[in-house]
Amino acid sequence: MADTDTLGESLRRLGVTRRGFLKFCAATASMMALPPGAAAAMAAALEKARRPSVIWLSFQECTGCTESLTRSDAPSLEGLIFNAISLDYHHTLQAAAGSAAEAAREQAMKESWGKYLLVVDGSIPLANPGYSTIAGISNVEMLKETAQGAAAIVAVGTCAAFGGLPKARPNPTGAVSVSDLITDKPIINVSGCPPIGAVITGVLAQYLTFGQLPDLDAYRRPRAFYGQSIHDRCYRRPFYDKGLFAESFDDEGAKKGWCLYRLGCKGPMTYNACATLRWNQGTSWPVEAGHPCLGCSEPSFWDAGGFYKALSVPTAEVARTAGYALAAGVAIGGVAGMVGQSIKTTAATGHQKVTVDELEA
Amino acid sequence: MRSADNESKIYGNLDAVLAEVRHALGKFLDTGESTTIDLNALPFGAGDESALFEALGHGEVEMVLTAMGQSRLWESRYAGVWLVAHHNGQGERVALQIEITDVPSIARSQRGDMEEALRRLPDSPWSAVG
């Protein structure tokens, strides 16, 4: 249960010295893309922060989000923050089950009414509430009930944030996102399939440090992590600028590490921190491993017309359209983007594959 | 994989960092203001990091901090330009920074710890043994 301990006190009991704490803050500030100088201010604020109660609800999901967070090694920064919060309900991690688990949730809700953080992973089925239940309670019922007393809701993963794979056409369960159902609470979407573990704890650390929600983008994602496109932070970007592209997975360009745009990389339309935070304890990330970005942190990435289809390939035809538009005073880049976007939207609506020919038509 | 394969030349991300280091060192000499550059936040490709380490080299001082895993702090061959690598308990690196200052801030003793130390410090050497 949430107690009166401050985070500093509870960390000190775990054997963390002030230097260790400062080091933790330096690393956290780094992953949150805060100015490096913010570490000291963060340490001072976190020292005094009270441990918040966190209730974690898992709905239609694959447990990948929980894996992403808990498989990050302990005692890592993520593990540390997790030790420092009071995780009062998480049915994958807790020992209790059934009515005992539900009693824990209800008690945590009662004790911290209006103050607890609600974390949700997974989408919510509306076609038939019986598709996904916990202790006989439907997901939609449990979400609405638990959301009522929450200070804020963190929708972890693309399923909770945007509906995710369960929502892929034809959406057999009638899956919806958290923000489709809850409209009267602050919601932070931490999208990704799964999101980077450090991003989840970064959001929690930010909430604890500053006592307020982070700055969010149009999709309610924290700008610190989703503020820049994969493309803009990609170390292969200089190749894109020079027009040097891999055309297949084993050609000379691929071996030289050229841009993967033509192999379907969704980096230009994807906002996430993979390019700088990387995966597997910072070892690598998809593009560094030679694979295009799938765009997993974007809404509807699952129905966007094929992972290996290029976003848009400017051709003579597009250039001609653009030419007319230019005469009307519209920028070329915008038109090329609009043509690509309309093909993508059509594909998403009809769930059709887009061929290169169609893209070039 | 981040091997020393000289690939960084083709990415060209290193020049920008060195320019920032030069600027920050000048600022410290003029105003006494330290600068920390967070290398995790930079789009480094394979080879960029080892090329940076090679460019900065090793100077006279190296420190090891043992707190929640080891951290290694070393002065580059350019005085006032420090590299700070924080590792966790498993030896994985969690942060890498260049600090342009006279002594890296984390090496300094923390006031709260010193206050506690004063309370704990024995009156005589014998009371500590007893």
pLDDT in tens, A67-115: 887 765 544 555 556 666 677 788 777 777 788 888 888 988 999 899 8
The amino acid that residue A236 corresponds to is R
Contact A288 B46 (CB under 8 A): yes
Give the residue on A whose Cα is nearest the Cα of B43: A235
Residues 66-85 of A with CB under 8 A from B: 73, 75-77, 80
Q: Indicate whether B116 belongs to any domain.
A: no
A75 contacts on B by Cβ (under 8 Å) = 68, 88-89
Q: Indicate whether B125 belongs to any domain.
A: no
Residue A224 in contact with residue A32, Cβ under 8 Å?
yes
Q: Indicate whether B80 belongs to any domain.
A: yes
CATH assignment of the domain containing B20: 3.30.1370.140
Q: Indicate whether B111 belongs to any domain.
A: no
Q: Indicate whether B65 belongs to any domain.
A: yes
Q: Indicate whether B57 belongs to any domain.
A: yes
ipTM entry: 0.76
What pLDDT score does B116 carry? 82
> CA A315 to CA A262: how far, in whole Å?
13
Q: Indicate whether B128 belongs to any domain.
A: no
Q: Indicate whether B130 belongs to any domain.
A: no
* Strand-pair partners of A284: A279
Percent of all residues in chain A with a pLDDT value above 90, rounded to a whole number: 43
* Strand-pair partners of B16: none
A238 interfaces chain B, CB cutoff of 8 Å? yes
> CA B117 to CA B109: how far, in whole Å?
11
- Find the domain containing B74 and state its range: 4-104
**Rounded (10°) angle between helices B111-120 and A18-31:** 160
Beta pairing, strands B70-75 & B81-87: antiparallel
B11 contacts on A by Cβ (under 8 Å) = 235, 238
User: How many structural domains does chain B have?
Assistant: 1
User: What Rg do the C-alpha atoms of chain A give, in angstroms?
Assistant: 22
The nearest CA of chain B is from the CA of A20 a distance in Å of 5
Closest CB to A75: pick one of B44, B65, B68.
B68
Tracing tokens 């924080």 back to the chain, one arrives at B86
Beta pairing, strands B62-66 & B70-75: antiparallel
B45 interfaces chain A, CB cutoff of 8 Å? yes
Residue B68 in contact with residue A16, Cβ under 8 Å?
yes
CA proximity to A296, closest of A262, A273, A321, A329:
A273
Flag whether the pTM goes above 0.80: no
Closest CB to A26: pick one of B11, B93, B95.
B95
B7 interfaces chain A, CB cutoff of 8 Å? yes
pLDDT, one tens digit per residue, over A210-252 is 777 888 999 999 988 899 999 998 999 989 999 999 999 999 9
